[in-house]
Each structure stands twice: as structure tokens, then as C-alpha cells.
């Protein structure tokens, strides 16, 4: 450890009660997430409580004002695929201490709909633990991502996460009712929707908080029509700052901006979620498509029936799942033979009919199993003619093998494909579903031209796909393909008026493309938002604005 590091550790230990580490093993661990990148931090701090977070913000501000290059980057479970929690400065790991669930309770549904609940927790709480606590009270926060077993709530909020149930229920920003955050002045504030009168009261405060509300309101109001028009016309978006949903001239909801900001505006310390009562039963219709041509017509038949989920994966993912199905043993059942028998119908389908081009998974949820079956049968009858196979899986148990393939496909690639590494650099693209028959062949043509072996899976009901090339990242010729391929794919997405990220967010990988997506005027507003909240650039710099594609490329991992 260098003398500078020793001085930094000593200074930080005088600031916080939590642990501070800068040994080589710890720094190497926090240098990576699930992304393409590797960035080694100066130190890792595990805040013990909110007072530690306040002290760290004040310390970082003082050092930044003194001319030191120091910043704070919040980290949860490390499952981010965009490099969001990677930094050369200080990583704040919230999972060690700030992981409590404070309350899970009931509340009246003000819309008169089904009963709702709420839950309040700290950002370091893993979603898997949070879900156990909510389900124990009969509730669910359904905007969980595929990484549900490893992600933490703070990361879900920072990325504005989404997942398999988003088609029916929405993203994380649809479930956060309020949150607490430490802002740049080192104080903790509660952020929640405000009426016009409440907003005026905030703006009258002669404090940093008051200045934020005044400046942000003025920024949006001055550019109101431009901001509203900038909202991407797709089912979901995590790119940029969500300015368009903050102010509708009736309600000012600053949480809509903070959610999805990847810790670039402040440090989240507490989140309160709205919860739903999940339906008791579910079933799935699985559609094996021989070709992509009928995809849009099929999706157009499916969506009006309001399924809970419409998920998909391509033939490459399916082939890997069948080849490595033993890797699912611990996920599927204690008895591996039950897994073997479960996959026999799919193996026979492949044997006699070949690998499908695409597999669609359509899930319905109802109060009883009879209603589920009725909806599955109705959908099967309504499907237009196409080349392929349809199978009804009338229960959650029967459908589980397909959910495991879909949820675990990324981990399957990371751990089972020898000699190649996952390279998630075009991993979260979104276009409107009606464009898919034209868009997907063009996407595959780009992948084939660069010689990528890639899997394509995702939320087809929302036109959101996770494209994961498999590459030998130690090979310079292979690495050289990444930037031009990224340029082509994102240009294709924008040609179809899509979004470069629906749920994984910008991070190191996509922040440099935000000006291409939104244009110079809106990007300038994003820069102003950053200045309003973070005048000393201490919160996760280089993400959202002020990014550098060459920096990102230099920090690609090599294996």
C-alpha cells in the first residue's frame, strides 16, 4: 500500500464508523461488476449508517474544493451490466450494514383498486431478502430484474430496474412512493411528490434544498415542451435523466428524476415501495417460432389479452440451455433426473423439428388455475397461422424450466462457455414491438458481419432485448470490434426511434451515446441537472454526463 493510500485510509477512518479497506484483494473485487469493464477503486468504505454517509459527502466536498480528485460511488450487489458502480475513487458498499427492512405494512389503495401494501428498507438490502419479507405479508414488489437473487434495492433504484412482470405492472419508478437521500450539502432529505403549493414552499427555502427545487423547476418549466417531447416513445427507458416525468404542472415528483440517475445526483439512504397482492396461480403458453416473420402479428394478438409477461430467447440461448442443462440442477430440483425428464419434450421438439428461431413465453396470472387455463386456451386459439409449435404449461411448476432458462441465461453464458467471455455492450436495446420483424433481421445481420456468437433474449412484449456477444476479450482483434459494432447497433436502434437502454442504464458503456439519442439541446439540460445537484462533481462522475468513450474502452476487462 502506498503512502498516499495509507493517508487516505487514515483520513477515512477518522470520518466514518464503518469499515475502510484498500488492500489489493478488496480493490480487485470491487473493480468489477457484471459489465464489460474493470476499474480499480482507491478504497472501499462500508458506511454503518446515515451519519456515515453524511460525513463522507462532507469529506468528499471539502477535498474536492481543495483540488483533490475524489468522488463517491454507491454500490449494491455488483450485478450492474453497464459499469455503473465502478470508479477509481471511493466505492461505498451498502450491503454490509445499511441493509435493514424497517417496515412492511398495509395501506388503503387510494384508487379504489385491490389492496396494496408498502415497505421501507435501506439500499443495501438484497432483493431476495426483501421479497421474502413482503411475501410473508402477502405482498410483492413486482419490478424485479432477472438478477433478483443477487441485486440490492439501491441498485434497482439507481438503474430504474425492470423485469419479467414490467409489461403488466411497470418499472421501479412506478413503485417508489418516496425515498431519502444525502445530497451535496451533506444533509439527508426526504424526496416525494409535491403539489404546486408544496413546491412553492420548498422553493422559498433559503437552503441548498430550496435552490435545487427552484432551479430544477425553472429548468423544466423554461423548456417544458422540449422536455416532454424528448420522452422516448418506447415501453421503457433508462437512458438519460428522466426529466419529462418530474413536473406536469400539477405535481412535482423529484423521485422520478432521482430514480435511474445511477447515484450521480446524491446517495440514496432509504426507499419506500408500493406493493401489490400477487395472483395465486399462473400458467404459460410457449411458442416455438421457426422464423421471425410472424413475430409482430403474434405479439399484436397477445398484448390486448393483457398477459403478465411476454418473454423470449433465441435459438443460441436455447441451444446452450439444452447443452448445459446439468448446470441447472441446483436451480431446478434436488433430484437431477426430474430436470432430465422435464426437458424431454423440448429435446424431442428439437430432434424432430429443429431448433426454433425464437421462443416466446406468455404468462398469465389469475386467482384460480381454471381461469389461467381458460386464458391460455383462448390465446392459443387466437394465434394467427405460423410455422412452429405451441405448448400449454398450465401451472407455475410446469413453466419453471423456461423461467430458469430465461432468468439464468446470462449466468449460463458467464460460467459455462469455455474460452469466451460475455461482452454486454449492446445488452439492453428497446424498439416498439411492431418494428421487430424488420429490426431483428438487421440486428442479426450486424452481429453476423462482425462474426459474433451472441445470444438474444428479453422482454419481447416491450420490444426490449438483451444481446450478449461471446468474445475472447484477451484478443485485441476481437476487442477492436466492440466500438464499431456498438456504433452500428445503436444507430440502428435510433433509426427505429428506440432507446439504447430499457433497464440496465447508461454507466460507462452507454453514457457516451446519450447526445446521439437525445440531441445536443436535451443533453445540455442533462448537464445542467448534474450541475444543480452536484456542483463539486463528487457523485459517481463519468456516468450520464461528462463521459468518455475512450476511457471506457481502455478499461475493458481482458477475461
Model confidence pLDDT, tens digit, residues 269-294: 999 999 999 999 999 999 999 988 89
**Does a structural domain hold residue 135?**
yes
* Verdict on whether the full-model pTM lies above 0.85: yes
User: How sure is the predictor about 327, in pLDDT bands with cuts at 50, 70 and 90?
Assistant: low
Per-residue pLDDT of 353-399, as tens digits, reads: 678 888 999 999 999 999 999 999 999 999 999 988 999 999 998 89
**Is residue 265 located within the same domain as residue 295?**
no
For residue 285, report the phi and psi dihedrals to the nearest 5 degrees.
-105, 120
**Is residue 362 located within the same domain as residue 433?**
yes
H or E segment at 104? strand 101-107
Q: Rounded distance, CA 295 to CA 289, Å?
A: 8
**C-alpha torsion sign, points 54, 506, 124, 247:** positive
**Is residue 317 located within the same domain as residue 403?**
yes
Beta strands 188-191 and 19-21: pairing type? Answer: unpaired
Per-residue pLDDT of 169-201, as tens digits, reads: 999 999 999 999 999 999 999 999 999 999 999
What's residue 470's pLDDT? 87
**Is residue 421 located within the same domain as residue 356?**
yes
**Is residue 285 located within the same domain as residue 263?**
no
Q: What average pLDDT score do residues 491-505 get? A: 98
User: How sure is the predictor about 417, in pLDDT bands with cuts at 50, 70 and 90?
Assistant: low
**Does a structural domain hold residue 500?**
no
**Is residue 129 located within the same domain as residue 254?**
yes
Q: Rounded distance, CA 144 to CA 384, Å?
A: 32
Q: What average pLDDT score do residues 447-453 get? A: 93
Task: Note down the domain range covering 164.
Answer: 101-276
**Is residue 249 located within the same domain as residue 150?**
yes
Which residues, listed in sequence order, are joined to residue 389 by a DSSP beta bridge?
A: 288
Residue 163 contacts by C-beta under 8 Å, 6 or more apart in sequence?
143, 144, 145, 146, 148, 459, 503
Residue where one domain finishes, among candidates 96, 118, 148 = 96
Per-residue pLDDT of 84-143, as tens digits, reads: 999 999 999 999 999 999 999 998 676 777 778 999 999 999 999 999 999 999 999 999
Q: What is the 3-state secondary structure (H, E, C) of 319-383?
A: HHHHHCHHHHHHHHCCCHHHHHHHCHHHHHHHHHHCCCCEEEEEEEEECCHHHHHHHHHHHHHHC
What's the number of domains the chain is made of? 3
**Is residue 253 located within the same domain as residue 336?**
no
Question: What's 474's DSSP letter?
Answer: T
**Does a structural domain hold residue 132?**
yes
What's residue 113's pLDDT? 73
**Does a structural domain hold residue 556?**
no
**Does a structural domain hold residue 114?**
yes
> Looking at residue 236, which CATH number applies to its domain?
3.30.465.10
Residue where one domain finishes, among candidates 96, 126, 158 = 96
**Is residue 172 located within the same domain as residue 243?**
yes
**Is residue 319 located within the same domain as residue 459?**
yes
Residue 68 contacts by C-beta under 8 Å, 6 or more apart in sequence?
none
**Does a structural domain hold residue 481?**
yes
**Is residue 321 located within the same domain as residue 265?**
no
**C-alpha torsion sign, points 152, 230, 535, 193:** negative
Q: Residue 269, SS3?
A: strand
pLDDT tops 70 at residue 338: no
Q: Rounded distance, CA 38 to CA 325, Å?
A: 30
For 237-251, b/e burial (b = at least 16 CB within 10 A) is: bbbbbbbbbbbeeee
**Is residue 487 located within the same domain as residue 396?**
yes
Residue where one domain finishes, among candidates 495, 512, 536 = 495
Amino acid at each position: 500500500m502506498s503512502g498516499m493510500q495509507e493517508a487516505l485510509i487514515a483520513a477515512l477512518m477518522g470520518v466514518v464508523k464503518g469499515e475502510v479497506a484498500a488492500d489489493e484483494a478488496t480493490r480487485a473485487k470491487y473493480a468489477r461488476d457484471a459489465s464489460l469493464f474493470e476499474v480499480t477503486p482507491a478504497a472501499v468504505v462500508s458506511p454503518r449508517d446515515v451519519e456515515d454517509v453524511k460525513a463522507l459527502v462532507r469529506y468528499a466536498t471539502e477535498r474536492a474544493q481543495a483540488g483533490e480528485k475524489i468522488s463517491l460511488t454507491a454500490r449494491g450487489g455488483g450485478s450492474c451490466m453497464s459499469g455503473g458502480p465502478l470508479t477509481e475513487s471511493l466505492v461505498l458498499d451498502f450491503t454490509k450494514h445499511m441493509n435493514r427492512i424497517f417496515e412492511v405494512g398495509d395501506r388503503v389503495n387510494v384508487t379504489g383498486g385491490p389492496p396494496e401494501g408498502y415497505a421501507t428498507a435501506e439500499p443495501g438490502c438484497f432483493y431476495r431478502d426483501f421479497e421474502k419479507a413482503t411475501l410473508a405479508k402477502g405482498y410483492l414488489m413486482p419490478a424485479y430484474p432477472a438478477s433478483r437473487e443477487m441485486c440490492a434495492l439501491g441498485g434497482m433504484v439507481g438503474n430504474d430496474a425492470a423485469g419479467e412482470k414490467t409489461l403488466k405492472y411497470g418499472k421501479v419508478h412506478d413503485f417508489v412512493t418516496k425515498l431519502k437521500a444525502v445530497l451535496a450539502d451533506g444533509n439527508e432529505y426526504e424526496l416525494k411528490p409535491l403539489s404546486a403549493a408544496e413546491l412553492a414552499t420548498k422553493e422559498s427555502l433559503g437552503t441548498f434544498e430550496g435552490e435545487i427545487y427552484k432551479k430544477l423547476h425553472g429548468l423544466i418549466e423554461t423548456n417544458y415542451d422540449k422536455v416532454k417531447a424528448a420522452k422516448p416513445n418506447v415501453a421503457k427507458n433508462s437512458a438519460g435523466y428522466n426529466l419529462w416525468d418530474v413536473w406536469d404542472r400539477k405535481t412535482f415528483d423529484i423521485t422520478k428524476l432521482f430514480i435511474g440517475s445511477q447515484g450521480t445526483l446524491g446517495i440514496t439512504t432509504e426507499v419506500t415501495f408500493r406493493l401489490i397482492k400477487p395472483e395465486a396461480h399462473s400458467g404459460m403458453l410457449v411458442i416455438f417460432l421457426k422464423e421471425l416473420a410472424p413475430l409482430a402479428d403474434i405479439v399484436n394478438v397477445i398484448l390486448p389479452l393483457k398477459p403478465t409477461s411476454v418473454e423470449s430467447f433465441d435459438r443460441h440461448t436455447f441451444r446452450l440451455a439444452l447443452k448445459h442443462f446439468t448446470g441447472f440442477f441446483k436451480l431446478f430440483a434436488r433430484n437431477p433426473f426430474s430436470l432430465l425428464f422435464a426437458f424431454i419434450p423440448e429435446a424431442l421438439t428439437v430432434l424432430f423439428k429443429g431448433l426454433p428461431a425464437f421462443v416466446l413465453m406468455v404468462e398469465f396470472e389469475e386467482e384460480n388455475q381454471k381461469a389461467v387455463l381458460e386464458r391460455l386456451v383462448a390465446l392459443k386459439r387466437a394465434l394467427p397461422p405460423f410455422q412452429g409449435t405451441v405448448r400449454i404449461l398450465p401451472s407455475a411448476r410446469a413453466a419453471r424450466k423456461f423461467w430458469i432458462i430465461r432468468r439464468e441465461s446470462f449466468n449460463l453464458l458467464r460460467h459455462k462457455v469455455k474460452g469466451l467471455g460475455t461482452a454486454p455492450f449492446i445488452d439492453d436495446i428497446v424498439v416498439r414491438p411492431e418494428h421487430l420483424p424488420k429490426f431483428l433481421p438487421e440486428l442479426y445481420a450486424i452481429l453476423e458481419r462482425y462474426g459474433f456468437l451472441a445470444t438474444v433474449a428479453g422482454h419481447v412484449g416491450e420490444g426490449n432485448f438483451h444481446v450478449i456477444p461471446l468474445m475472447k476479450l484477451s484478443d485485441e482483434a476481437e476487442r477492436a470490434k466492440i466500438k464499431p459494432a456498438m456504433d452500428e447497433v445503436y444507430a440502428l436502434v435510433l433509426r427505429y426511434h428506440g432507446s439504447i437502454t430499457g433497464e440496465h442504464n447508461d454507466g460507462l458503456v452507454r453514457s457516451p451515446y446519450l447526445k446521439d439519442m437525445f440531441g445536443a439541446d436535451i443533453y445540455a439540460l442533462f448537464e445542467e441537472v448534474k450541475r444543480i445537484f452536484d456542483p463539486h462533481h463528487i457523485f459517481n462522475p463519468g456516468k450520464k454526463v461528462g463521459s468518455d468513450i475512450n476511457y471506457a474502452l481502455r478499461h475493458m476487462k481482458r477475461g
